[in-house]
A and B are shown apart, each in its own frame.
Chain A
Amino acid sequence: MRSCCFNTTPSFLAVLLSASILPGCEVDGGDNLPRVTDQGLFMYAEANRHLDEDDAEIAAAVYKDGVPVDLVGGDVFEASTTTERVLLKDRGLVTGSYAALLPVDDSVQEVFFNIVHAPIEAREDRWYPVDLVYIDPGPGELVGKSAVVSFPPAVSINGPGEDTVFTSIGDIIDLSWAAVAAGDTMRALAAVECTNGLAASSYGTVVEIGEDDGYEAIGMDKFIYDANAGSSTIKFVTDAALMLLQELLNDLSAGAIDPDFVLRSIDANPIESACEIRLFLQRQRNGVFDVTFDDGTVVGSRSAEVTVKYVPLVLAD
């Protein structure tokens, strides 16, 4: 089981935000980016359908020698099913990626990714007549490359129950789901929002589960961390500095400033805060990418979610 933490906002692909290292978390401190190779052409593509929603979240990117390739001049990712088609014109949450929503229903089994040259359609969000006034540099070298992913079976979470409360980062979440022995892999993603009454913080974590066997015991410390973990000296100095800053502001404002201004301005420490954890369980199925790519991470996935709460004992009392 491998996990990592990153800042996030609560939606599924938002949970795929770029990572940041969070102290005190039982994590590897890495990121959630696809494992891009340092050399050669790398394809990243992902299509996820959350619950039975009518849209799948689509994201794709190409990396050359480890660096994201900007598709410009009308070259753009196209994601399609047998009946629907979208261009990925928005920036995705994974570095260098593009994203869009693709309408899907239960009959949709596969999503096809293609890099196409669509100079007019790619400009359609501009206000002026883009079919009349435009510069077309012609198709780039990536046009024509493709990948295909298929959706695995839907995810059904059996436990924990909705709004189950945990009080310690030593607690274990017994995550169970209806297993499907189809060779797919599982991972859990969490969007965490915490508040201590004065300040708030939000971030995301990823826990790689692996086998689709229907059960995983995950420590609460995979989702809740202590921002003050580490050197007690540094914590002492930091607290003193914040106190001095508040006093300075009090003096400068002749007492007019909020006495909790500094405390409100810093992120809430999750371990000392009440947190809501939206736990997404995702079943992933590897797809196929164009043979002209040297490597790639191409997956179709389905996901479901359950919300649990972390309320430290000091607050619960």
Chain B
Amino acid sequence: MRHMASSSRSLCAIAIMWMSAVTHAENMQVDGNLLLTSLDAGGNDDFKSGNAIAINYNYDLKAWLAADVGLLITGKTLEESGKDVVGDYRANIRTQALLLGIKPRRRFQSPYEVFGRLGLQLWRTELEVEEYFGEGIPEGADSEKDTGYGYYLSIGGAHYVTDRVLVQLEFRHFKQLDVFQGKTAYPFDLAINALSLGVGYRF
């Protein structure tokens, strides 16, 4: 609950910053992106591909450098079912992350731009596991949440459809470090690789 309040405050701060910036709208960009994601928890996990949305706000610090603030929200990403001596099981993960970093960019004479992102993320991740043991034995699901820090980076290209509207394609990498550290003997790092397609608007 405390975490949710913290996240809400952060979201409000971003919204206020965004509204403030739009009021004096210049040298900035807002974009929305759809992501096709691939999760890797570093062990013998076997996640199916998932999807996510990401919203980014950029404020130009220099012609070639912008501040990058964003929000990442993934859908529930399912793992392939597994079976072992205990029974059948399937895990799923969903995560949200606040992003804060920089975005180097280079716009060419032609209507194209290449850019990257590099920054830190504050993540909130939920792990859920469903288990089935067979006839006559109670089955069920259990879940846990954790928060922490990590980093993100990406590289992409944009095409300006008009002077203000652009479409962009981006390869993103998010790394959440030490998920469930301190709560378990088996913490893990969660990597999210994503192909991102977005639409941006420059003010």
Contacts of B183 in A (CB 8 A): 129, 132
Contacts of B144 in A (CB 8 A): 129, 132-133
**A152 at interface (Cβ–Cβ under 8 A)?**
no
Q: How many residues of A contact B (CB 8 A)?
A: 27
Q: A126-B89, A127-B41 are in contact. Are A70 and B184 (CB under 8 A)?
A: no
CB <8 Å contact, A135 and B139: yes
Contacts of B138 in A (CB 8 A): 135, 137
Count A-B pairs with CB separation below 8 Å.
89
**A275 at interface (Cβ–Cβ under 8 A)?**
no
**A260 at interface (Cβ–Cβ under 8 A)?**
no
Q: A70-B134, A73-B133, A135-B140 are in contact. Are A130 and B84 (CB under 8 A)?
A: no
CB <8 Å contact, A129 and B84: no
Contacts of A71 in B (CB 8 A): 85
A121-139 contact mask (Cβ, 8 Å, vs B): 1 or 0:
0110111111111110100
**A234 at interface (Cβ–Cβ under 8 A)?**
no
CB <8 Å contact, A128 and B127: yes
Bound: A314/B62 CA distance, A:
86
Q: Determine which of A76, A126, A135, A137 lies in contact with B82 in the assembled complex, contact meaning CB atoms within 8 Å.
A: A126
Bound: A111/B115 CA distance, A:
64
Q: A70-B134, A127-B41, A129-B183 are in contact. Are A119 and B86 (CB under 8 A)?
A: yes
A: residues with CB less than 8 A from B are 70-74, 76, 87-90, 98, 119, 122-123, 125-135, 137, 140
B: residues with CB less than 8 A from A are 41-45, 82, 84-87, 89, 91, 127-129, 131, 133-134, 137-144, 180, 183-188
Q: List 21 A-B contacts (CB under 8 A).
A: A71-B85, A73-B87, A74-B86, A76-B86, A89-B85, A123-B84, A126-B82, A126-B84, A127-B41, A127-B42, A127-B44, A128-B45, A128-B91, A128-B188, A129-B127, A131-B184, A132-B180, A133-B127, A133-B143, A135-B131, A135-B133
